[in-house]
Amino acid sequence: MARNKFDIDEDLESPFDIKHFRRAYVYIKQHKKPMIISLVLSALSAAIALTAPLIMQHVVDVTIPAKDASALVGWSALMLVTIIVSVYLATIRSRIMTRVGQDVIFEIRTDLFKHLQQLPFKYYDDRPQGKILIRVVNYVNSVSDVLSNGIINFILEIINLIFIAAFMFAVNVQLSLIILAGLPVFLAIMLLIKTRQRRAWQSVSNKSSNLNAYLQESISGIRVTQIFSREQHNAGTFSRLSGNYRQVWMRAMIFNNLVPFSVDNLATMVTMLIYLVGLLALDPVNVTFGVILAMSSYAARFWQPILNLSNLYNNFINAVAYLERIFETLDEPVTVSDVPDARELPSVKGNVTFDNVTFAYDPGINILENLMFDIKAGQSIALVGPTGAGKTTVVNLISRFYNLTDGKILIDGHDISQVTLRSLRSQMGIMLQDSFIFSGTIMDNIRYGKLDATEEEIIAAAKTVCADEFIREFEHGYLTEVNERGSKLSQGQRQLISFARTLLADPRILILDEATSSIDAKTERLLQQGLNELLKGRTSFIIAHRLSTIKNCDRIMYVNNKGIAESGSHDELIARRGLYYRLYTAQRMEA
């Protein structure tokens, strides 16, 4: 399925089953002690509150007829104490569970983030960023209360029902049976709507994800939107997605509201039956007005836990849709990872060998087939060719951002699939075409790849790539704060800072993917002087569309038709008058 679109619903990879809640228990069991304390406090609060109807019955049947004012004051004071104690215990319990809920949010979100950090490029190629973000933020928030307060409240409401039933039957058995008569009707309603309710909230999850994905995409591309005056069209798309969300939300709320609506009406009918049967059908000697008043109070109290349980059920159904998405993300396989017996890659010289390498992003559609070449340490290699031929794929495979379909890649004779990713990538300097700048200072951005770098090393790296001059022109120099993606910097400045970041890591293998595409010709000439010194003794792979920048490379490889169509030095390829010659000649004519 083409999932990398904001307007396509994401079908679940696997249906929900009880194992999800068994997995969720891992987060809950770490907080068993405060949850047990909360449960005890809640039970005590509920039990104390249930004495109020008995006090009320005694006052109506005994104290008031006896006109005992002092006893009335005493009983009133006792009822006030029960209310205060009950509220106090409930407040303590609420504070404890608020802390537990936030701890659960922290732990789930941390696990999600750590897993996302390990997932391969392929995962991010297939999904809009907004659909990933909503799982880490919104969905975790939605399930945390169910995993903490929800469990406590569920147990508590069951205990409440048992206590209330015991008090009811102690007062009057016949009227208690009338109260229980509404339960079969309620259970029938719940069975009828539960499947459709879950599907409705899955739809809400989908439409919310779509809306979030489009919003994130629109914010990231706001400059392009305004350049092409797409504001009105984009507003229409957002309105359509928002309307879809509103539609499915309203449908889900119909099912949600049906439950409390049913409970309220059943409770009202049961209360009416208590008064009707109590006053007209039962023995007035045994069923006093105080008894009827107490039973009507217990009826309201009995159906309140039922209503609370139904609300918990609603929350459970909602959380199921979100919990499925969370665990689906956690279950995404980390396909590019260390093998069980992976070893550390020792310090390398930089010999690189492609041994019969075949690679496909999607099964059956090969980008590279049976690719073979051997690069000696210290050589500079240029990769040229038409767009989409696989140049960036080649350098991504050297860094093992993707797993090979077939064959192997060796560095100094070591199969890179058998060494740890950290030891492999720590010896590589990679500058991608998209120069990403993080929020923070310029110095922090340059230091990103080498956290222990000194200020002198950072400045030296910046000078090598000709970034020092423009950095010092800022009021705060290297301590200048930049926004995410470096919105305050020009594209060329962002690339130079990224270049300094890459060079500071002192890599043995250097990969430059269109690294100078946004630098003016004058700056590029200055930069080339520094690079000539830097590239000495390092193996380098350079992808550049401006062929004038790679004329001095030791070898130029023309990538086409799933392999290397031509390979040689600039002079050799020009003399051959093949694909590279035609490409170079065409560029000179355009210039």
Whether residues 191 and 261 fall in one domain: yes
Residue at 387 is within a domain = yes
266: tokens are 């059943």
Residue at 391 is within a domain = yes
CATH of the domain at 389: 3.40.50.300
Whether residues 360 and 282 fall in one domain: no
Whether residues 265 and 370 fall in one domain: no
Do strands 555-560 and 380-384 pair parallel, antiparallel, or not at all (unpaired)? parallel
Query: Which long-range CB contacts under 8 A does 30-35 form with residues at least 24 apart?
Result: 30/103, 30/107, 31/100, 31/103, 31/104, 31/148, 34/96, 34/97, 34/99, 34/100, 35/97, 35/100, 35/148, 35/151, 35/152
Local structure of residue 137 (DSSP, 8 states)? I
Q: What's the confidence (pLDDT) of residue 104?
A: 82
pLDDT tens for each residue of 241-282: 888 889 988 888 888 777 777 777 777 787 777 777 766 655
pLDDT tens for each residue of 199-219: 787 788 788 878 887 887 787
Sheet containing 352-362: order of strands: 365-375, 352-362, 406-411, 414-415
Of the candidates 321, 327, 325, the one whose C-alpha atom is nearest the C-alpha of residue 134 is 325
Residue at 82 is within a domain = yes
Whether residues 302 and 365 fall in one domain: no
Radius of gyration of the chain (CA): 35
Q: Does pLDDT of 4 surpass 60?
A: no
Q: 411 - beta bridge partners?
A: 352, 414
Q: What's the confidence (pLDDT) of residue 54?
A: 77
Cβ(407)–Cβ(354) below 8 Å: yes
pLDDT band per the 50, 70, 90 thresholds, residue 563: very high
pLDDT tens for each residue of 348-357: 999 999 999 9
For residues 545 and 479, the model is more confident at 479
Residue at 335 is within a domain = no
Structural domain ending residue among the three candidates 303, 330, 357? 330
CA distance 494 to 433: 11
Q: Does pLDDT of 299 surpass 80?
A: no
Whether residues 309 and 357 fall in one domain: no
Q: What's the confidence (pLDDT) of residue 267?
A: 76
How far from each other are the two terminal CA atoms of the chain, in whole angstroms?
Answer: 43
Q: What's the confidence (pLDDT) of residue 520?
A: 64
Residue at 42 is within a domain = yes
Whether residues 384 and 279 fall in one domain: no
Buried b / exposed e over 119-150, threshold 16 CB at 10 Å, is bbebbeeebbebbbbbbbeebbebbbbbbbbb
Looking at every residue in the chain, the average pLDDT score rounds to 81
pLDDT tens for each residue of 128-156: 777 788 788 777 877 777 776 677 777 77
Do strands 414-415 and 563-568 pair parallel, antiparallel, or not at all (unpaired)? unpaired
For residues 515 and 514, the model is more confident at 514
For residues 61 and 428, the model is more confident at 428
**Cα atoms in the 13 Å half-sphere on the side-chain side of 289:** 6
pLDDT tens for each residue of 5-60: 666 666 554 455 566 667 777 888 888 888 888 888 877 887 787 777 778 777 87
Number of domains in the chain: 2
Q: How far is CA 476 from CA 25, 470, 481, 488, 490, in A?
A: 50, 12, 8, 14, 17
298: tokens are 């217990």
pLDDT tens for each residue of 380-392: 999 998 888 899 8
pLDDT tens for each residue of 522-533: 666 656 665 666
Whether residues 71 and 130 fall in one domain: yes
Collapsed DSSP state (helix, strand, coil) of residue 452: coil
CATH of the domain at 240: 1.20.1560.10
Highest mean pLDDT among 161-165, 235-239, 463-467: 235-239
The DSSP annotation for 21-72 comes to HHHHHHHHGGGHHHHHHHHHHHHHHHHHHTHHHHHHHHIIIIITTTT-HHHH
Structural domain ending residue among the three candidates 274, 299, 330? 330
Residue at 559 is within a domain = yes
pLDDT band per the 50, 70, 90 thresholds, residue 96: confident
Domain that holds residue 571: 349-426+545-591
Cβ(359)–Cβ(393) below 8 Å: yes
Q: What's the confidence (pLDDT) of residue 528?
A: 64
Residue at 460 is within a domain = no
Whether residues 135 and 190 fall in one domain: yes
Q: What's the confidence (pLDDT) of residue 2?
A: 39
For residues 448 and 227, the model is more confident at 448
pLDDT tens for each residue of 325-367: 788 888 888 888 888 899 999 999 999 999 999 999 888 889 9
**Cα atoms in the 13 Å half-sphere on the side-chain side of 159:** 17
Over pLDDT 70: what percentage of the chain? 88
Local structure of residue 136 (DSSP, 8 states)? I
Structural domain ending residue among the three candidates 295, 330, 365? 330
Q: 362 - beta bridge partners?
A: 365
For residues 489 and 557, the model is more confident at 557
CA distance 281 to 272: 13
Alpha-helix residue ranges (DSSP H) falling in 221-288? 222-227, 231-280
Whether residues 59 and 101 fall in one domain: yes
Highest mean pLDDT among 40-44, 169-173, 193-197, 450-454: 450-454
Whether residues 361 and 314 fall in one domain: no
Whether residues 281 and 415 fall in one domain: no
CA distance 298 to 160: 11
Q: What's the confidence (pLDDT) of residue 516?
A: 62
pLDDT tens for each residue of 440-455: 889 988 888 788 889 9
Q: Does pLDDT of 558 surpass 90?
A: yes
567: tokens are 């390979």
Whether residues 289 and 377 fall in one domain: no
Residue at 233 is within a domain = yes
